[in-house]
Structure 1
Amino acid sequence: MQTTTAAPEGQPLNLLADWISRDQLAGELGVASDTLARWEARHEGPPCTRIGRKVFYRRTSVEAWIRAQEQVCPAPKTRGRR
C-alpha cells in the first residue's frame, strides 16, 4: 500500500502525477485520440477515468492492459501431409 506525503507548505499537491491524458497516451501508443475514444466506447481499451470532459488513464492500468494484449504466436500451419 502506498502512502502519500503532504506537500511542503505553499506547494500544491500533484494529484494527477500517476495519470496521463488521452492525447498523451495516444502519442505513446502511436494511435489517434479518436481510436482511444472508440476503444472506450466498445470497452476494448485500457480503463480510464473521466473528470469533467477530460479523460485520464492510470499508468499502471495501461501497463497491465498492454501486458494482457500480449499473444503467443501460434505454430505455423503446414500444407499437406507430414
Structure 2
Amino acid sequence: MRGGSNQLLTPGQAAAFLAVPLSTLYSNWRRWGVPAYRVGKHLRFRERDLEAWLSRQVVR
C-alpha cells in the first residue's frame, strides 16, 4: 500500500505541498500527469497521489 494520507487537498493546499505557485499548478497539472479529482465543480488532489508523483520525479 502506498504511504501518505488519503486526504483530499484543495488546489491551494496542493500547490503549497508541491512548493509551487497556485498559477503554476493550474497551468501544468495535466501536463505533469498529477492525478486530480472533480468533487462537484471543485478540483481536488489526493495527498498520497502527490507524494507518489513526487517520488517518481527524476532530475536529469
* TM-score, normalised with respect to structure 1: 0.55
- The CA deviation at 1:47 is 0.5
Q: How many Å separate the matches in 1 of 2:18 and 2:30?
A: 18
Q: Where does residue 50 of structure 1 map in the other structure?
A: 38
Gaps of 5+ in 1: 2-16, 74-82
2:13 maps to which of 24, 34, 39? 24
SS at match of 2:48: helix
Contact 1:36 1:45 in 2 (8 A): no
- The CA deviation at 1:40 is 2.6
Root mean square deviation, CA, Å: 2.1
- The CA deviation at 1:45 is 4.1
Gaps of 5+ in 2: none
* TM-score, normalised with respect to structure 2: 0.71
Q: Where does residue 64 of structure 1 map in the other structure?
A: 52
Contact 1:26 1:33 in 2 (8 A): yes
The alignment-based identity, stated in percent, is: 30
- The CA deviation at 1:41 is 4.0
Deviating above 2 A after TM superposition, structure 1's stretches of 4 or more consecutive aligned residues are none
SS at match of 2:45: strand
**Number of aligned pairs?**
56
